[in-house]
């Protein structure tokens, strides 16, 4: 149910009706023989009723699924404070004749007045901190802890009412029973939620992912923005993905574009909690061979060659009790996977999600971000637009700055920070985070650069070192791992990494697609060919390094491994 201004106005008017009727009766001298006593009793009852109603909102919303009720929780709490304040004011004006000394003396003489005053005092900071701006400054975690005082205020109010009546205690007992049920529900729900979150964190894709290679079917293509599409990939058969992955990891696509093989890596934007499919969200780059191919040629029902998962830019909630996720442009994808995972698992930690884009039309997943922000009080969404004016409360103009982060995120220096976006932006945000006191070890980055022109060619890499005498094998392709002292003939289709695995030679690897650079190894002598060498720098190539997952031997090759 979408809550509009009309709904809020209707609730506001209905909440005002009881006190309006009380005021009407007072104006017409229709409050009975003791008008002050009647008004004091009525406003006290209204305060207690509204307080219990505000505490009832969350349990009712969770049991019924009527999440729209949460929009009125603060309003009900404010009306409880209003009636409690009016209750005390009438007592002070008409019963104590505006005498401060008389009021103080009376309160400390009569126990039930002490409980009543305690309830009012406890409700005061709750009312003061009910504005959105105050909540942002405090942080949801501290705000939620403070507002647990509402239960203590309700207990004090029930004791106040119970001690006030001398004979018929049925009504105060009824209030006490309702409060007891609400407290019991909160305790039980908290225990269940924590156990459930712990189980999900342990069992929902937290097992070490295994590497898989094969085909997935394109189940759906979703337009996110004018130049960004999401490709939902499902199993060819069955209803479960053939691999597990962690939020923030990526998969590798092996495409054939214009008759040439192109390998590209794309972050998995979906969450491991949805095991029936995975999604990649791809921005169409003007000079991008693979992104243009995906946007222009791939449609539902097509099959894509996949190898997955890979990547260490992950977060599952077990290494920190809060996290800041800062995204720029299409760099939102790995952070969106983490956000979806944590909210699906009802992770109790604070999540601050900062997202920067040029215009509102460029905001990927905007509606989903807003939806999850409404559903999860521990999720704080802030958006920055660099080329369009901000319109809503959670939108800001310009780039992300130190001042912006300090204002939006309380205790920023103590939090874990994950950043993903264009290379320049990622470096700038890291520098800002360091300047604000975040430790180097608490910052994780994944950056990207727009392609100048993606290559789809195969290159032969030759090294001028003279072959070692021990490698003479009549010209047959052969591989020797010099440090391990192991060697074997190798077929033209076999990679150096595959040969190392067969011989039991340890070479680190991750993506197997020439993207991550984990399998970087040095060639002592010989020649290899590589279809992809993106992870190697100019210095790497000049010093004789190859990617073991891509290198295929042309002749006798000696590897330092």
pLDDT tens digits, 419-473: 999 888 999 999 999 999 999 999 999 876 544 434 333 444 444 333 333 333 4
* Tens-place pLDDT, residues 526-535: 888 887 776 7
514 vs 264: CA distance, rounded Å? 9
Two tokens at 418?
Answer: 């994950």
Mean pLDDT (the chain) is 86
Q: What is the pLDDT of residue 462?
A: 46
Q: What is the pLDDT of residue 459?
A: 43
Cβ contacts of 232 within 8 Å, gap of 6 or more: 218, 219, 220, 221, 222, 270, 277, 278, 279
90 vs 106: CA distance, rounded Å? 15
DSSP structure class, residue 495: B
175 vs 159: CA distance, rounded Å? 10
Two tokens at 278?
Answer: 């995975």
In contact, 537 and 545? CB cutoff 8 Å: no
Q: Taking the C-alpha atoms of 464, 470, 471 and 475 in order, what is their torsion angle to the nearest 10 degrees?
A: 110
* Tens-place pLDDT, residues 41-64: 999 999 999 999 999 988 898 888
Q: What is the pLDDT of residue 456?
A: 37
User: In a 3-state reduction of DSSP, which class is residue 180?
Assistant: helix
328 vs 271: CA distance, rounded Å? 19
pLDDT range class, residue 198, cuts 50, 70, 90: low
Q: What is the pLDDT of residue 287?
A: 80
Two tokens at 275?
Answer: 């095991």
Q: What is the pLDDT of residue 534?
A: 64
pLDDT range class, residue 325, cuts 50, 70, 90: very high
- For residue 498, give Cα distances in angstroms to 9, 166, 493: 68, 87, 10
In contact, 512 and 549? CB cutoff 8 Å: yes
394 vs 453: CA distance, rounded Å? 37
In contact, 107 and 113? CB cutoff 8 Å: yes
User: In a 3-state reduction of DSSP, which class is residue 311?
Assistant: coil
Two tokens at 85?
Answer: 């304040």
If you average pLDDT over residues 224-250, what whole number do you get? 93
Phi, psi of 499 (to 5 degrees): -65, -40
If you average pLDDT over residues 350-377, what whole number do you get? 94
515 vs 501: CA distance, rounded Å? 19
Two tokens at 200?
Answer: 């999900």
In contact, 245 and 309? CB cutoff 8 Å: yes
In contact, 247 and 338? CB cutoff 8 Å: yes
391 vs 406: CA distance, rounded Å? 21
User: In a 3-state reduction of DSSP, which class is residue 361?
Assistant: helix
In contact, 154 and 179? CB cutoff 8 Å: yes
pLDDT at 274 over 70: yes
pLDDT at 476 over 90: no
In contact, 499 and 486? CB cutoff 8 Å: no
* Tens-place pLDDT, residues 285-317: 888 888 999 999 999 999 999 988 888 899 999
pLDDT range class, residue 475, cuts 50, 70, 90: low
Two tokens at 522?
Answer: 């040095």
Per the DSSP assignment, residues forming a β-bridge with 303 are 217
If you average pLDDT over residues 119-128, what whole number do you get? 92
Q: Which candidate, 221, 249, 204, 237, places its Cα nearest to that of 343?
A: 204
User: In a 3-state reduction of DSSP, which class is residue 143?
Assistant: helix
In contact, 529 and 458? CB cutoff 8 Å: yes
């Amino acid at each position: 149910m979408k809550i509009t201004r009309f709904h809020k106005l209707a609730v506001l008017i209905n909440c005002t009706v009881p006190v309006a009727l009380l005021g009407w009766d007072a104006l017409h001298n229709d409050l009975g023989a003791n008008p002050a006593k009647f008004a004091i009793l009525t406003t006290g009852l209204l305060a207690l009723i509204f307080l219990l109603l505000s505490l009832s909102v969350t349990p009712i919303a969770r049991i019924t699924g009527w999440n729209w009720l949460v929009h009125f929780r603060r309003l009900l709490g404010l009306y409880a404070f209003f009636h409690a304040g009016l209750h005390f004011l009438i007592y002070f004006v008409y019963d104590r004749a505006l005498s401060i000394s008389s009021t103080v003396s009376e309160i400390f003489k009569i126990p039930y007045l002490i409980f009543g005053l305690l309830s009012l005092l406890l409700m005061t900071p709750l009312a003061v901190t009910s504005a959105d701006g105050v909540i942002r400054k405090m942080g949801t975690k501290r705000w939620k802890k403070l507002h647990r005082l509402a239960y203590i205020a309700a207990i004090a109010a029930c004791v106040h009412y119970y001690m006030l009546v001398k004979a018929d205690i049925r009504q105060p007992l009824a209030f006490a029973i309702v409060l007891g049920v609400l407290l019991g529900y909160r305790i039980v729900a908290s225990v269940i939620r924590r156990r459930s979150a712990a189980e999900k964190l342990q069992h929902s894709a937290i097992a070490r992912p295994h590497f898989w290679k094969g085909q997935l079917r394109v189940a759906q293509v979703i337009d996110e923005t004018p130049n960004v599409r999401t490709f939902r990939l499902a199993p060819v058969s069955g209803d479960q993905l053939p691999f597990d992955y962690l939020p923030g990891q990526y998969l590798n696509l092996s495409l054939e574009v214009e008759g040439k093989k192109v390998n590209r890596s794309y972050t998995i934007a979906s969450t491991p909690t949805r095991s029936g499919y995975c999604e990649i969200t791809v921005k169409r780059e003007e000079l991008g061979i693979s992104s243009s191919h995906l946007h222009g040629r791939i449609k539902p029902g097509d099959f894509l060659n996949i190898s997955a998962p890979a990547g260490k830019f992950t977060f599952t909630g077990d290494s920190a009790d809060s996290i800041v996720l800062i995204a720029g442009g299409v760099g939102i994808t790995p952070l969106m996977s983490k956000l979806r995972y944590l909210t699906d698992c009802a992770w109790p930690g604070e999540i601050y999600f900062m997202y920067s884009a040029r215009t509102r039309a460029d905001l990927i997943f905007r509606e989903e971000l807003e939806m999850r922000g409404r559903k999860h009080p521990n999720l704080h969404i802030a958006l920055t637009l660099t080329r369009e004016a901000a319109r809503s409360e959670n939108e800001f103009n310009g780039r992300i700055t130190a001042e912006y982060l300090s204002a939006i995120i309380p205790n920023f220096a103590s939090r874990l920070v994950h950043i993903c976006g264009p290379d320049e932006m990622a470096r700038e945000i890291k520098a800002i985070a360091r300047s604000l006191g975040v430790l180097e070890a608490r910052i994780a980055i994944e950056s990207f650069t727009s392609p100048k022109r993606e290559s789809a060619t195969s290159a032969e890499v030759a090294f001028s070192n003279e072959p070692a005498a021990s490698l003479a094998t009549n010209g047959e392709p052969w591989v020797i791992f010099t440090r391990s002292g192991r060697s074997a003939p190798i077929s033209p289709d076999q990679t150096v990494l595959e040969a190392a695995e067969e011989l039991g030679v340890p070479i680190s690897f991750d993506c197997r697609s020439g993207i991550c650079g984990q399998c970087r190894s040095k060639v002592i002598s010989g020649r290899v060919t590589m279809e992809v060498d993106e992870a190697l720098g100019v210095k790497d190539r000049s010093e004789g390094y190859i990617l073991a997952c891509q290198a295929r031997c042309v002749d006798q090759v000696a590897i330092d491994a």
